[in-house]
Structure 1
């Protein structure tokens, strides 16, 4: 869509980074991952026992486990960057912000 806006075709061999600089459009994957990280930290810092924190900690046990690959949880990619105690780490804002850069970068690495 951005190529069409600028009138650039694939034959012009213009890199996506150059096009993004010209259109000033932010990368949606980067923005979504940043908002997810910030929201997770916000929820973990709450202390009044609201349902959102309880939902993050809840692990349902419904009979037999399904065959095949285990289901991916919402917090699995956060746990991969911040470690197993990510909910404790989120309480320290400075550490959480430093880890945010690594988390967002994993979704925007250009290959």
Structure 2
């Protein structure tokens, strides 16, 4: 995100995006700041090595409806908005990568579980994040949460994502629509979409 915030705000305005969850912001601290075009970034900062960090960007209209910001370390944050007829909780999450320890991964999923269970059942929840797993295209038994348009082969982390979605009765929305086949990350001969 460093140096790209104005560009992101312009993209949100151009594409009509009201709320955007961002991960790996690499900004330090727990703050909120205007980033241009009336958009406001609320973020939970990077670790001591300048890694991780999550944020939620809201447009001009919605920034006045934010009533609560809860930060859970540098990988999870929740913003609560009071809309005219409902309460919306937006969660931005960034799961530890495959190279991280099992302890780090378990702690992340426990913290995310705590954040989600703290939300009243009468309130709506949207989770936007990079959960660092491949859920594949197989939707047997879980067609209610998986639309069949995932990418690649399901891995262990993907199994965890599916189990989490089932436990919280959530749908993996990005599996319900076609996406361009593109690579978002390359390192050491490995790629991810």
> Which of the pair has the greater relative contact order for Cα pairs under 8 Å at 6+ separation?
1
Structure with greater helix share of residues: 1
Larger radius of gyration: 1
Relative to the length of structure 2, the TM-score reads 0.21
Structure with greater strand share of residues: 2
